[in-house]
Amino acid sequence: MTFRRVRHIVTENDRVLQAVDTLRSQGPARIGALLDASHASMRDDFEISCPELDLAVGTARSHGAIGARMTGGGFGGSAIALTPVGDEQQVRDAVVRAFADAGFTAPDIFTVTPAAGAERLS
């Protein structure tokens, strides 16, 4: 178990560096595989996912998201799905349907828009 958790940390650090490089050189549409690998690593190696997060991530991916992963501390919480604007509603609808079909509480889904990071103003 310890080996797998260490492997997650090492590979996640590498994925972060790859994401930075990919975002700079190719843009956000190219980081999907890194998001997916991150979720799989948190689920399988670090063992901090849960059925609801796995369902949200898998459903989002199979209905048009470029990539998806859990975020936050794990054992519940949130998932993010990088989704083309034109596919947003179908991803939302699919996740809501999947949660209902599984008997889970309806998820809260909201849209965020990327913006410049924090910066010093003065």
Rounded-to-integer distance, Cα 27 and Cα 21, Å: 9
Q: How confident is the model at residue 77 (pLDDT cuts 50, 70, 90)?
A: confident
Domain that holds residue 24: 2-102
Would 118 be classed as within a structural domain? no
Q: How far is CA 118 from CA 22, 89, 113, 114, 115, in A?
A: 21, 29, 15, 12, 9
Q: How confident is the model at residue 122 (pLDDT cuts 50, 70, 90)?
A: confident
Would 37 be classed as within a structural domain? yes
Give 17-48 pLDDT, tens digit per residue.
999 999 999 999 999 999 999 999 999 999 99
Is the sign of the CA dihedral 82, 88, 92, 97 positive or negative? Answer: negative
- Structural domain total, the chain: 1
Would 35 be classed as within a structural domain? yes
Would 111 be classed as within a structural domain? no
pLDDT at res. 72: 82
Would 42 be classed as within a structural domain? yes
Report residue 56 as tokens.
Answer: 């949200």
Give the residue ranges of DSSP H helices in 1-122: 2-25, 32-44, 51-62, 88-102
Q: How far is CA 88 from CA 62, 67, 73, 122, in A?
A: 13, 13, 25, 38
Residue 95 has pLDDT above 80, yes or no: yes
pLDDT at res. 52: 95
Rounded-to-integer distance, Cα 60 and Cα 115, Å: 22
Q: What are phi and psi of 106, to 5 degrees?
A: -60, 135
Would 98 be classed as within a structural domain? yes
Give 49-76 pLDDT, tens digit per residue.
999 999 999 999 999 999 999 998 767 7
pLDDT at res. 113: 85
CATH number at residue 72: 3.30.70.890
Would 115 be classed as within a structural domain? no
